A and B are shown apart, each in its own frame.
Chain A
Amino acid sequence: MKVGRRRFWYNKPMIRRPKNLNLLTIRFPLNAVVSIQHRISGMFLFLLLPCMLWGLQASLAGEVQFQTTLGVTRHWSFKLFLVWAAWGFFHHFYAGVRHLVQDVRGTGGLHTARISSRLVLALVAVSVAVFAWSLW
């Protein structure tokens, strides 16, 4: 076995073996996309936690702070950020509900899983669109 140099982030030496990690030749199936986006949006929401807490605290701190917080949310760049955050929330929510249903009723086969994936993506798109529309 050919052994390469040690990686600093992994305690075992690297084993050389053929890999196909050309991302242009790998295409994720729809279910995998929904699944990995659930994970990404989850990490994103974790990073957003202090922002949410700060927003709630500032909006309840007093009349002046309340108006300042509202003023910040009226800026177009912050609205874009809010739409992004809404994507994270809606995707995590709908994909999570899909996972819960799958836990209870089973995946129901590949065909059903693909349909539910499409349903999740459609619901996310509609929800984010409605949110953005009500924001502007």
Chain B
Amino acid sequence: MRWWLVQRISAAVMAGYILLLLARLAILQPKGYAAWQVFWQPVWWRMLTLVCFLGLVVHAWLGIRDVFRDYVFNPAWREWIQTAAELLLLFYLCWACYILWP
């Protein structure tokens, strides 16, 4: 599969999740800590959030890769910066898992 298509699909996944999030916020209207906790309680919602975040990580990875390719001309520098960004995104993914399943 082409990477640009992966970026489009991940964008569509995130857009769907955001619409669902807005709908849930509008229906449940969580006010206060207890309601906020209930909002994040369902396992299916946590799973969907993780899927969205996975899409976000892939989308961000491809996006900043394109930006680095356009503006960082030195191949050695670009390699380093890109690797650093990839490690950072991997760390964010682990962090998100930890938040969702503490």
Question: Given the complex, which residues of B lie within 8 Å of A33, measured CB to CB?
Answer: none
* Residue B24 CB within 8 A of the other chain: no
Contact A46–B64 (Cβ < 8 Å): yes
Q: Which of A23-65 contact B (CB under 8 A)?
A: 39, 42-43, 45-46, 49-50, 53, 56-57, 59-60, 62-63
* Of B12, B40, B63, B74, the contact of A46 (CB 8 Å cutoff): B63
Task: Report if A43-B11 is in contact (Cβ < 8 Å); known contacts: A9-B74, A60-B99.
Answer: no
Report the 8 A-B pairs with minimum CB-CB distance, sorted nearest first. Answer: A66-B33, A10-B73, A57-B99, A63-B33, A42-B63, A46-B60, A53-B95, A11-B74
Assembled-state Cα–Cα distance A103/B12 (Å): 13
Assembled-state Cα–Cα distance A28/B8 (Å): 26
Name the residue in B33, B64, B67 with the highest tally of chain A Cβ atoms < 10 Å from its Cβ. B33
Task: Report if A43-B99 is in contact (Cβ < 8 Å); known contacts: A11-B75, A96-B11, A100-B8.
Answer: no
Interface size on B, residues (CB 8 A): 25
Contact A49–B92 (Cβ < 8 Å): yes
* Residue B96 CB within 8 A of the other chain: yes
Binding site for B on A (CB under 8 A): 9-11, 39, 42-43, 45-46, 49-50, 53, 56-57, 59-60, 62-63, 66-67, 93, 96-97, 100, 103
Question: Given the complex, which residues of A lie within 8 Å of B8, measured CB to CB?
Answer: 100, 103
* Of B18, B37, B99, the contact of A53 (CB 8 Å cutoff): B99
- Chain B residue nearest to A66 (CB atoms) is B33
A-B contact pairs, 20 of them (CB 8 A): A9-B73, A9-B74, A9-B77, A10-B74, A11-B75, A39-B67, A42-B64, A42-B67, A46-B60, A46-B63, A49-B56, A50-B92, A53-B95, A56-B99, A57-B99, A60-B36, A60-B37, A60-B102, A67-B33, A103-B8
Question: Given the complex, which residues of A lie within 8 Å of B20, measured CB to CB?
Answer: none
Contact B95–A11 (Cβ < 8 Å): no
Task: Report if A59-B36 is in contact (Cβ < 8 Å); known contacts: A9-B73, A43-B67, A100-B8.
Answer: yes
* Residue B15 CB within 8 A of the other chain: yes
Contact with A along B2-17 (1 / 0, CB 8 A): 0000001001100100
